[in-house]
Amino acid sequence: MDRRILIHRVICAAGLALAALSVAFIGEGAAAEGGSRFRRPPAETKGRFAPRGCLDSGCHAGKRDEYKKAVVHAPVREEKCETCHKRHGLVGAVLLTKDGSELCYGCHAPSKAAFQKKHQHAALKDPAAPKIGCVGCHDPHASATKGLLKAAGNDLCFSCHKKEQFAGKVVHQVAAQNCRTCHDPHASDQPHVLAGPAATLCQGCHNPQDARLLKAHSEYNVRGTDCASCHAPHASERAKLVRSAQHTAMAQMGCRPCHADPKSDKPFAAAAQGADLCYTCHADKRKAFDDKVKHMPVAGGMCTGCHSPHATDNKGVLVSAEVALCTTCHQDQGKAIKDKVAHGPAKAACTTCHNPHASPNPKILLAAQPDLCMICHADKRQEMSKKSLHAPFAAMPCTTCHTPHGGPQARLLVAATGELCYACHAAKKAEFNKPHVHAPVGGGSCTSCHNAHATDTKPLLTKGPAELCLTCHQPMLQRVRGASVHLPFQAGQCLTCHVPHASENRRLVTTRGSALCLTCHAGTLRDVKQVKSSHPPAREDCVACHDPHGSLAKPILKKEVKDLCVGCHAPIANVLKSAKAKKHAPAAAGQCTLCHKPHDADQPDLLKAAAPGLCTTCHAPDNPKMQAAHGGIPVAKSDCVACHEPHGSEGGTLIQPVVHRPFAGKVCSACHK
């Protein structure tokens, strides 16, 4: 039998035996306990896994004394923390079994149904802020106040509602004692979460047939009327809680000038209909309101659409605060003033810009644009005298570009800067759709360079061209300080070479490559047919060697000549770096232009002259040393580079590395006469 099979069978047999032994042992234990052999072991009563109460643990040990108050929440009293909390959570986090008030409704289900009414206490509208939901008013653990309230009486209400609004010379006693006398703390079908209809609620305490009440109301029985149309429900500076702004007719003459006789069948019927009643006193307004553009309520004779005929807490006897009143109808404007950027006057008071009744101007504006806007923005009027004016600023309403109320864009623009400008300059958008775009243009930031209103520099530039470009490109100026500077750059004529918006060419240049430079430097390069050699960088792109703005290396080269040339001519660079090589003095000194022309030449290899003429300008052929070195053979008409390396060589006299044997032995007569 195979040895591996034998070992496998032995191991299996041992495993089965061990399993049988274990089952027998468990069976005996289970039988001894009189139960199933699969029963779980009994829970620990001691040791690290024994259950402990939350208030006994090291984390919450101090809470037991804290919860010893007059009213304790039942789960806390019975130490059933898991009724509301998850046992295993995170340190520092309160992990509840359900979110917000839904947790409370698990036990207080009837309350959830009871609270589903037309008007709900704002605190019950779950939860984003810590003070919202049931726990906004109720302590979830224990309290000294009935109902687990966090504070007693009105003090609880004042934790959200400003106490100053309930203070005045005259305070409603009921309001001072308990808000719940008039308001339901949770929900109601009545506005302001009132405990009942406003008319009947007041009359629960104030009998409208009481002689004093009749006298105070010019003998009118006010049963069923809205008391709050004249009286403040909480506090007022006026006697009898009359609201701060009172209709003059009512204050001076009582109810009779506007209403029918108090003994008539319809005592509260108006003495005249609509605006006709108002014009009996305000006759001067009829003519003033007869203007080109009328506010719709004025045109419809609906004075009480905006004004209370009795009393209010708002200036002008308005039925509500000005902005809130206007945005009741003008809802889009109401949303606009709540947007990211709001026009200050629109948010503060609509009548800063609009006449509330009638005007000769569109939108019942107090004045025509731009005169209206310049009442506040006086500095813009001064800009009208500048040399370059933006057409919308000069001849169109400000609202061509700006929203008058509010919006998501900075400076109240009707659209993002770039898109707004393209609304008129549509052709520019297509023009700017090129591979290389000026960063401000690409980012839609036209106003980085242009003033949207007026300037003294055309075309609406915020500064002179040179100064404007250097606003961003200041490091460029610092780099060439004290250097050789390109004349257009020195004169601030950036647009000589660059386009300001977008280009088909890199670096936003007007023309690609050397063609741009040759518009000024026309004589620098000759026609390729007229020369024997041309420097490729000079033909393709001058900035391969030259800095287009300025440089410490003349003539505005990117580097000194010795470093610039070897950047491309690597083999020559290697020779010049070699310690063994003998270097030609001009090459070693980086005087490349001593022998070569930088752009084009009438000789091969950009040489200034043909050999030996070029060489003999330094190496005189009649020099005795020169003659001796060449074995007396005349070299005045020889080709020097036939034997010598022009830049450097490991041969002692710049001799080329591969040498003819007779030449190496200086046996020139072997070949020459």
Whether the predicted pLDDT of 38 surpasses 50: no
pLDDT at res. 35? 42
State the pLDDT at residue 63: 87
Residue that the structure tokens 């036939």 belong to = 642
- Among 16-20, 226-230, 354-358, 464-468, the minimum mean pLDDT is found in 16-20
Residue 424: inside a domain: yes
Sequence-distant (≥ 6) Cβ neighbours of residue 492 within 8 angstroms = 464, 465, 466, 467, 469
d(CA 473, CA 478): 9
What three-state secondary structure class fits 564? helix
Highest averaged pLDDT of the listed ranges 257-261, 363-367, 377-381: 363-367
* Average pLDDT over all residues of the chain: 88
Residue 364 lies in a domain: yes
- What gap in Å lies between CA 96 and CA 102, rounded to an integer? 10
Give 401's DSSP letter: T
Q: Which ranges of 143-281 would DSSP assign to H, the alpha helix?
A: 153-157, 173-177, 198-202, 211-216, 248-253, 274-279
Query: Residue 447 half-sphere exposure, CB side, CA atoms within 13 Å?
Result: 14
Checking if the pLDDT of 23 tops 70, the result is: no
Phi, psi angles (nearest 5°) of residue 613: -55, -40
pLDDT at site 49:
59
| φ, ψ at 396 (rounded to 5°) | -125, 165
Domain ranges, residue 8: 1-40
Residue 37: pLDDT above 50? no
pLDDT reported for residue 219: 93
Q: When comparing pLDDT for 42 and 597, which is higher?
A: 597
Concatenate the DSSP letters of all residues of 251-290 into one string: HHH-STTTB--TTSSSTTSBSS-HHHHHHTT-HHHHHHT-
Q: Is 86 helix (H, G, I), strand (E, B) or coil?
A: coil
Residue 358 inside a domain? The answer is yes
Q: What digits encode the pLDDT tens for the residues 47-61?
A: 555 567 788 767 787
365 within domain boundaries: yes
- 427, 453, 479: which is the final residue of a domain? 453
Out of 432, 453, 474, pick the residue that ends a domain.
453
The percentage of residues in the chain with a pLDDT greater than 70, rounded to a whole number, is 91
> What confidence category does residue 333 fall into, taking pLDDT thresholds of 50, 70 and 90?
very high
Contact 70, 143 (CB under 8 A): yes
- Percent of the chain predicted with pLDDT > 90: 70
Q: Is residue 378 part of a domain?
A: yes
pLDDT tens readout for residues 390-406 = 999 999 999 999 999 99
| Model confidence at 555: pLDDT above 50 | yes
Alpha-carbon gap, residue 405 to 333, rounded angstroms: 6
Residue whose pair of structure tokens reads 């080329």 in the numeric block: 656
pLDDT of residue 607: 96
DSSP string, 310-370: SEESSGGGBSS-HHHHHHHH-HHHHHHTTSSEE-HHHHH-GGGTB-SSEESSGGGBSS-TT
**How many CA within 13 A on the CB side of residue 45?**
1
Dihedral of CA 33/38/43/48: which sign? positive
State the pLDDT at residue 51. Answer: 64
- In the prediction, which pLDDT does 127 show? 52
**Cα–Cα distance between 623 and 627 in angstroms, integer?**
6
Distant-in-sequence, close-in-space partners of 579: CB < 8 Å, separation ≥ 6: none
Q: Examine residue 370 and say whether the peptide bond preceding it is cis (omega within 30 degrees of 0).
A: yes
Euclidean distance between CA atoms 460 and 452, whole angstroms: 7
Q: Bigger pLDDT: 657 or 420?
A: 420
Tokens of 282: 């305000």
Amino acid at 25: F
* Residue where the block lists tokens 């905006």: 306
Is 597 part of a structural domain of the chain? no
* Of residues 457, 312, 319, the one with CA closest to residue 383: 457
- Number of compact structural domains in the chain: 2
Which is higher by pLDDT, 423 or 1?
423
- At 36 the pLDDT is 38
Which of 429, 453, 477 corresponds to the end of one domain?
Answer: 453
Q: How confident is the model at residue 414 (pLDDT cuts 50, 70, 90)?
A: very high
Which position has the higher pLDDT, 672 or 245?
245
For 287-331, the pLDDT digits (tens) are 999 999 999 999 999 999 999 999 999 999 999 999 999 999 999
Whether 208 is in a domain gets the answer: no
Q: How confident is the model at residue 131 (pLDDT cuts 50, 70, 90)?
A: very low
With 0-12 / 13-18 / 19 or more C-beta atoms within 10 angstroms meaning exposed / middle / buried, residue 573 is middle
Tell me the pLDDT tens digit for each residue of 620-649.
999 999 888 888 888 888 889 988 999 999
Q: How far apart are CA 180 and CA 163, in angstroms?
A: 16
Report the candidate in 642, 641, 658, 640 with the shortest Cα–Cα distance to residue 650. 658
Amino acid at 143: S
Look at residue 7 and tell me whether its pLDDT is greater than 70. no
From the DSSP assignment, how many helices (H) and strands (E) are in the chain?
31, 22
pTM of this prediction? Answer: 0.70
Which backbone phi and psi does 298 adopt, to 5 degrees? Answer: -65, -45
| Assigned domain for 429 exists | yes
Nearest 5°: CA angle at 317, between 313 and 319?
75
- 441 Cβ neighbours under 8 A, 6+ residues apart: 418, 432, 501, 502
- State whether the Cα torsion 372-374-375-381 is positive or negative: negative
Give the pLDDT confidence score for residue 45 in this predicted structure: 54
- Cα 165 to chain centroid, rounded: 37
| β partners of residue 71 | 143
pLDDT at 16: 45
In whole angstroms, give the CA distance from residue 229 to residue 57. 59
